[in-house]
Structure 1
Amino acid sequence: MVVVFAVILLALLLFVTEPVPIDITAIALIVVLIVLEPWTTITPVEGLSGFASSATITVLAMFILSEGIRRTGVVEQLGDLVVDWTKDSPLKQLGAVVGISGGSAGFINNTPVVAVMIPMAIRIAKRTNSSPSTLLMPISFASMMGGTLTLIGTSTNILASDVWDRVGGAASQPFSMFEFTTVGLIVLAVGTVYLLTVGRYLTPERIKPQLNLTEEFEMAEYLTEVVVREESPLIDRTVRESLRTLDVDIDIVHLVRDGKTFGEPLARKELNEGDILLVRTDRETLMELIDTEGVDLLPQTTHHDADFETDAGTLIEVVVLPGTNLIGETLASLNFRGRYDATVLAIRRGSAVIRQRMDHTPLRGGDTLLLEATDEAIQRLVENRAFVVAQESEPTYRRSKTPLALGIVAAVVAVAGAGLLPIVVSALAGVVAMVLTGCLKPTEIYDAVDWNVIFLLAGVIPLGIAMEQTGAAEWLAALVVAGSTDFAPLLILGVFYLLTSLLTNLVSNNASVVLMIPVAFDVATTIGANAFAFVLAVTFAASTAFITPVGYQTNLMVYGPGGYRFSDFFRVGAPLQLLLAVVTTLSIGWIYGV
């Protein structure tokens, strides 16, 4: 038990601090548990069992099914209807996006739901002269609450079902497809009312209405035009050579020659006398360039978004998604300009904007990049699963496949809900159907999967097995029981909800489920309470992490585009977390008994 607890503490520390990506931590966790087999009791077969778990395979299949729905553009079509219906009513806008996000997240993984809702919210805000900040956080919160509607709503629910089965609970009461639905509807209804009333007034307007992007990112002091003089040493050098020679914090955004504007790719273009360069740099570096590199400062002008609407490109915002291979990399290590044919002008991280020394700033999930890019480059970014383009775009949707994709997901839910096939089998059958019907191309299914979640599941599942086999879960349960002999089972149920929600806001929701369900099961069994009710409380708490932007992936996704501060999530999320702690506990007690 001591060894297992030490491994758990180390894993939690690594999950919180993320010195390496969580999928690497998960793989290391498997290795440590197997190497320490004499103490952890985890054999190689048990250590690798997470990869063969029905929960892992089901989550993988659901990512692919969600991608099939996303490729049809059905959620964007709903967004257009929202704009037409809500007109200029902020309350209607909020109610519509919360309803779409919460309702669809019960059947589509909430990460792609939020990914398509971000540009929708920004589009609604621009067309109605409102702040996107008032919509984005509620979208994330609603997607989490909506995920509690069905077994397939989140990976947390699917994993909880697997752990419940492993501890022996499924023999008496298995998790069915709609086991969560009644309590989930109550949670979503109460949460929606909160977001439309109290939450609406607590959510800040960090991004001001109708600011253009150059104003929003405060670029006035960092965008300047210079002209190359006759004696400049930059003449006949390529842009790449010039930037390397300068060795200062500067980017050449675009080049104007003979009235024609050139944007990326600029690296191989040679500079001539009279070339006008739009550069991104600070005032001190600019003065140094004027003194040493033979350029003259053009009359100061204020640059607006319209100045970038040229053949050279246009300004866009893109959000770096959590869990992608970009996390921890820098613009320099990625060769961002060369790879994406786009110039990064600024990085927004929450409410902070980085405009200097960006090339060596490690990227984080939720970072919002201000780019100048051509239409072709924007289209590639739209198709790239590492980004969410936060502007109106025209991706290639397969709208004709909408009925097929929706029908396939409905069939998966119906077959599993009726008990005709296990959910893992029906989900895999749905994946095959998506490909056979052309809703997805075979090559797209691999990009659809959030692999860090898959590896995380594979890593934490054997950790849960180690807790059970070494008696660690039973020992923790005995401590809880000894300290709560004078409390009613319903109160203990509420305590488990709060503990799990606190743990989830610090580490992964899936890790919380694996660690807390065995303990909850043993506590309920010891005090003679309904173990199923306790496991449900843990599951709901792990699916709703509102207090921090790092508590849940969707919170990170809206963190940058909304311009939020870290404390904003606590201000809006803490009252909701406490409200749902009461509502969920009482609902479970009322419906299932304790």
Structure 2
Amino acid sequence: MPDLHAAGAILIALGMFYGFINGRLRVELVSLLTIAAIALLLYVFPMPGQDKYAGLALAFEGFGHYALVTICSLMILGRGMVVTGALDPAARALAQIWRTNKSFALLFTLVVCMLLSMVINDTPVLVLMIPILVQMAVQGGMPASKTLMPVNAAILIGGMSTTIGTSTNLLVVSIANDLGMRPLNVFEFTPIVLFAMLPALPYMWLVMPRLLPDNTRAVAVESRHFLAKLRIAKDSTLRGKTIEEARGRLPDGVEAWLPPGAGGHVGHRVLATGTFEGLQEAARKLSATLAPNWLVERIRADSGRSGKDMMVAEMIIAPDSRLIGLTPKTAGFEGVAMLGIHHVRQPLRDTRPHTPDAPMKEGDVLLVMGMPDDLHRFAEADGLLQLEGGQEIVRSGKAPVAFAIMFGSVGLASAGLVPIAISALTGAILMFATGCVRFERVGRALSGQVIVLVAASIALGKFMLVSGAAGWLGGLMAAWLQYLPPAGVLAAIMVFVTTLTNFASNSAAAAVGTPIAFNIAAKLGLPAEPLVLAVLFGCNLCYATPVAYQTNMMILAEGDYTFGDYLRPGIPLVLIMVAALSASLVFWYGI
């Protein structure tokens, strides 16, 4: 039987898993309670040969661990790629392919998402893909409920193929390093996962969409359309062309026409209507701006001087607003730029002309750009109600810089020149130094939930090891696994960890599973590395429940999924990956 400390470690681990499964307490609170329980137990009952303060060092070790620093640095690198628009060209290319061939587009999207998530955290990749897939569904493509889950699965599979693909991978590798395993290169086990992708990719492409419902009606929402002016640049080749030629360059969903008195040919103004995203794309294609160029440059200069991001916000005209009855030309906006206006439907017949220069009325929605403080003052002074969730302006001029920093950070670690902890931290510092990520906005890059979860998992993993709990559990499992061939041992470990992952937390599963795998390897006379990778892979096979991983929750509302919608396609995918990964590990390590 386990001694006091081993039994305490097992009970704390069970309590952590129960807290995650139960769901009544937030993940952060469960993580902090786990750390507190370890600290209190080792303070009251110190480990043999140690004083009561040694336990505090073990309990709080995770907050200073290099794995946590690496994870935070990679979050900042991913944030830099998003806010600079470095991933936008890939998004536009995908959108274009979706308009031509839906079946091939899904396959291409799956492959691209796998490749992106190898070096960029899973969450930013999914954030990039959700609006594309939802918009393509609105425009007649495959229903979002049939594409979001396969794409999410592809992102998770890509994320498991490198040491930096997910925070869980880094956690498993760092715990294994602490236990004496050699450091693994960034792409060390990528070929193993690529082999396992071969049977999984056709399943995600051809079978998963058939197992998922068509929830188009349930999730369909009417996107707000804005009236806007496209200010054509002086050197634009569109000047002097007909409006039909201009319409040929517009993205789907955007309509354009000439203002009165234009004479039939494009001059310095074109009127348009569409969603904000559509108008942005139209401005890009027509070499135009949605606000006067001098005003945009002034706001951009203010952003550079203050170090704050430019924001775009929607504001509703309140009943007591001074703007009612005025036109955007006569309103005299100060410090902000109006990009468009949405005319609310009037109770009686609306006689306003269909133009952004029409008089404003109560309930109209303005789309405005400016600095956060200026937007707040504008809303207060002019009687406007700002809607929640302002959007940052992409700093596209920094996109090549952000891409170069990310490529350099990953490249240095991949070549083995420096550890990933050093290259990722250096990359994060460069993101701050070059302005790709604003230091005061770093909170948007870092996840407090991930930080405390990783810190608690590191502490729990260390306690499981030094208390002897991992050795006791490893011996118990080895007694059953000794009759299985190596592939069966690997598959059993993966299934065990996968079960914990899908119903609790992959970080907690990593903390418990990694030291147990080490002990099983020692007792069965197998190399530790493939068993540790079985734990790492098992932590990433989180397709079967919505609570298994944060990206699963992100697609829940967009696809209007139920719990059963995850189980039905998720369980077969888990079984395919377990079989393929087990066979691949046996072949790769020759065991």
d(CA) in 2 for partners of 1:417 and 1:461?
A: 24
For 1:403, the equivalent position in structure 2 comes to 400
The Cα of 1:187 is off from its aligned counterpart by 3.3
Describe the shift of the 1:462–1:124 C-alpha distance in structure 2 as closer, same or farther (beyond 3 A).
same
In the alignment, is the contact (CA less than 8 A) between 2:67 and 2:421 conserved in 1? Answer: yes
d(CA) in 2 for partners of 1:263 and 1:381?
A: 11
In the alignment, is the contact (CA less than 8 A) between 2:39 and 2:55 conserved in 1? Answer: yes
d(CA) in 1 for partners of 2:214 and 2:108?
A: 19
Q: Which amino acid in the other structure matches residue 87 of structure 1?
A: R
Q: What's the secondary structure of 1:514's corresponding residue? A: helix
Q: Give 1:435's match in structure 2, choosing from 432, 437, 448.
A: 432
Describe the shift of the 1:544–1:375 C-alpha distance in structure 2 as closer, same or farther (beyond 3 A).
farther
In the alignment, is the contact (CA less than 8 A) between 1:60 and 1:449 conserved in 2? Answer: yes
Q: Give 1:9's match in structure 2, choosing from 7, 14, 21.
A: 14
d(CA) in 2 for partners of 1:100 and 1:311?
A: 45
For 1:219, the equivalent position in structure 2 comes to none
The Cα of 1:7 is off from its aligned counterpart by 1.1
In the alignment, is the contact (CA less than 8 A) between 1:516 and 1:538 conserved in 2? Answer: yes
Describe the shift of the 1:110–1:36 C-alpha distance in structure 2 as closer, same or farther (beyond 3 A).
same
After superposition, the C-alpha distances for 1:546-589 in whole angstroms (9 at most, x for unaligned) are 10011111010001001111100111111100000000110111
For 1:575, the equivalent position in structure 2 comes to 572
For 2:206, the equivalent position in structure 1 comes to 197
Output aligned runs, 1:328-477, within 5 Å: 377=386, 381-383=389-391, 395-477=392-474
d(CA) in 2 for partners of 1:134 and 1:564?
A: 10
The Cα of 1:465 is off from its aligned counterpart by 1.2
For 2:101, the equivalent position in structure 1 comes to 89
The Cα of 1:311 is off from its aligned counterpart by 7.1
In the alignment, is the contact (CA less than 8 A) between 2:172 and 2:511 conserved in 1? Answer: yes
For 2:64, the equivalent position in structure 1 comes to 52
For 2:258, the equivalent position in structure 1 comes to none
The Cα of 1:76 is off from its aligned counterpart by 3.4
In the alignment, is the contact (CA less than 8 A) between 1:65 and 1:431 conserved in 2? Answer: yes
In the alignment, is the contact (CA less than 8 A) between 1:88 and 1:128 conserved in 2? Answer: no
Q: Which has the larger radius of gyration?
A: 2
Output aligned runs, 1:252-331, within 5 Å: 264=316, 266=318, 312=363
The Cα of 1:45 is off from its aligned counterpart by 1.1
Describe the shift of the 1:533–1:554 C-alpha distance in structure 2 as closer, same or farther (beyond 3 A).
same
Q: Once the two structures are aligned, what percentage of the paired residues are identical? A: 28
Q: Find out whether 1:548 has 2:557 as its counterpart.
A: no
In the alignment, is the contact (CA less than 8 A) between 1:33 and 1:40 conserved in 2? Answer: no
For 2:301, the equivalent position in structure 1 comes to none
Describe the shift of the 1:418–1:375 C-alpha distance in structure 2 as closer, same or farther (beyond 3 A).
farther
For 1:166, the equivalent position in structure 2 comes to 178
d(CA) in 1 for partners of 2:140 and 2:86?
A: 22
Q: What's the secondary structure of 1:478's corresponding residue? A: helix
For 2:137, the equivalent position in structure 1 comes to 125
Q: Give 1:107's match in structure 2, choosing from 119, 125, 132.
A: 119
Q: Find out whether 1:184 has 2:193 as its counterpart.
A: yes
Q: What's the secondary structure of 2:162's corresponding residue? A: coil
For 2:298, the equivalent position in structure 1 comes to none
Q: Give 2:110's match in structure 1, choosing from 89, 92, 98.
A: 98
Structure 2: give runs of 5+ residues left out of the alignment.
1-5, 48-53, 224-313, 322-346, 349-359, 368-375
Output aligned runs, 1:553-564, within 5 Å: 553-564=550-561
d(CA) in 1 for partners of 2:361 and 2:581?
A: 54
In the alignment, is the contact (CA less than 8 A) between 1:313 and 1:375 conserved in 2? Answer: no
Q: Which amino acid in the other structure matches residue 10 of structure 1?
A: G
Normalising by structure 2, report the TM-score: 0.70
For 1:355, the equivalent position in structure 2 comes to none
After superposition, the C-alpha distances for 1:301-322 in whole angstroms (9 at most, x for unaligned) are xxxxxxxx99735799xxxxxx
Q: Which amino acid in the other structure matches residue 56 of structure 1?
A: L
d(CA) in 2 for partners of 1:562 and 1:444?
A: 30
For 1:500, the equivalent position in structure 2 comes to 497
The Cα of 1:199 is off from its aligned counterpart by 1.4
Q: What's the secondary structure of 1:150's corresponding residue? A: coil
Normalising by structure 1, report the TM-score: 0.70
The Cα of 1:484 is off from its aligned counterpart by 2.7
Q: Which amino acid in the other structure matches residue 44 of structure 1?
A: L
After superposition, the C-alpha distances for 1:466-489 in whole angstroms (9 at most, x for unaligned) are 111111110111111212332222
Q: Give 1:34's match in structure 2, choosing from 23, 36, 39.
A: 39
Describe the shift of the 1:313–1:578 C-alpha distance in structure 2 as closer, same or farther (beyond 3 A).
farther
In the alignment, is the contact (CA less than 8 A) between 1:97 and 1:121 conserved in 2? Answer: no
In the alignment, is the contact (CA less than 8 A) between 2:102 and 2:141 conserved in 1? Answer: no
Q: What's the secondary structure of 2:164's corresponding residue? A: coil
Describe the shift of the 1:538–1:315 C-alpha distance in structure 2 as closer, same or farther (beyond 3 A).
farther
Instruction: Report which stretch shifted further, 88-97 or 134-143.
Output: 88-97
The Cα of 1:19 is off from its aligned counterpart by 2.0
d(CA) in 1 for partners of 2:63 and 2:447?
A: 14
The Cα of 1:265 is off from its aligned counterpart by 7.0
The Cα of 1:97 is off from its aligned counterpart by 2.5
Structure 1: give runs of 5+ residues left out of the alignment.
215-261, 270-297, 300-308, 317-337, 342-373, 384-394
For 1:363, the equivalent position in structure 2 comes to none
Q: What's the secondary structure of 1:197's corresponding residue? A: helix
Describe the shift of the 1:442–1:11 C-alpha distance in structure 2 as closer, same or farther (beyond 3 A).
same
Q: Which amino acid in the other structure matches residue 193 of structure 1?
A: P
The Cα of 1:376 is off from its aligned counterpart by 8.9
Q: Give 1:539's match in structure 2, choosing from 536, 555, 561.
A: 536
Q: Which amino acid in the other structure matches residue 206 of structure 2?
A: T
In the alignment, is the contact (CA less than 8 A) between 1:126 and 1:210 conserved in 2? Answer: no
Aligned length: 447
